[in-house]
Amino acid sequence: MEGYDDRSYGDGFADVYDDWYADVTDVDATVARMQSLAGPDGRVLELGVGTGRLAVPMAAAGMQVVGVDSSEAMLERIDAASGVTAISGDMVDDLPDGPFDAALVAYNTIFNLLDETRQQRCFAAVADRLRPGGAFVVEAFVPDAERRARPTSDVSVRTLAVDHVVLSVSIDDPDNQRAEGQFVQFSETGGVRLRPWSIRWATPAQLDEMAARAGLTLVERSGDMAGDDFDDDSAQHVSIYVKPEAIDGR
């Protein structure tokens, strides 16, 4: 998408993100899962922290949470008193120093890195910052057979109300594993507002390969944060990759 960069998504969605996506992740289950991996007061790194939708509850539960996001518009919505350390930066090149007990990239955020090289570098950067035995939790959708088979385009209605309409316009390019689109919002008071998005999706097997190249091992895959079974019909996955324990003090 011409003109799209790392800040485009956050800047376009910051004012509606918490309303539109409040229910996409089970917050309580996410907090419990991260506490089980990091420890009750463990140090947690969240990539693409956004408005703090998950980071703030994790911090309230006692974890030491550091969140990274490239959108200032998103980060401005994190309450300074929340206990979350918010860092403006890229989730590949600007990650803070470790060690962290666990890291989280939730709700397809890994796909906001728009080529395989950047996704691979993200796995490597996280691995470098995890303590031995630390875990990297990746939550993402599973590309279905139709998405992988042929190019598609879609125009549909997301929201229809008395005073506003939101249309969803998207295209999918399976050869490059790319999808992008716009939410086009029309309202009586605000005119037209564009909210662009762009992703480079990957299959669970491809993510496993990236993790392995970064020295991480897949130890668990479930269908959601609550730990439901993952199978061939699952629309999403939560994959937990672990950094090996140190050997002989190394």
Q: Is the pLDDT of residue 48 over 80?
A: yes
**Is CATH 3.40.30.10 the right assignment for the domain spanning 145-199?**
no
**Domain locations in the chain as residue ranges:** 8-142+202-242, 145-199
pLDDT at residue 246, rounded to an integer: 66
Q: Is the pLDDT of residue 248 over 70?
A: no
**Span 180-230, pLDDT tens digits:** 999 999 998 889 999 999 999 999 999 999 999 999 999 999 999 999 999
Decide if 112 contacts 48 (C-beta within 8 A): yes
Q: Is the pLDDT of residue 132 over 90?
A: yes
Which homologous superfamily is 8-142+202-242 in? Vaccinia Virus protein VP39 (3.40.50.150)
Question: What's the mean per-residue pLDDT of the chain?
Answer: 94
- Other Cβ atoms less than 10 A from the Cβ of 112: the count is 22
| DSSP bridge pairs for 135 | 102, 242
Q: Is the pLDDT of residue 148 over 80?
A: no
pLDDT at residue 22, rounded to an integer: 86
pLDDT at residue 187, rounded to an integer: 92
Q: Is the pLDDT of residue 30 over 70?
A: yes
Q: Which residues are CB-neighbours of 64 under 8 A, at least 6 positions away?
A: 41, 42, 43, 44, 85
pLDDT at residue 250, rounded to an integer: 46
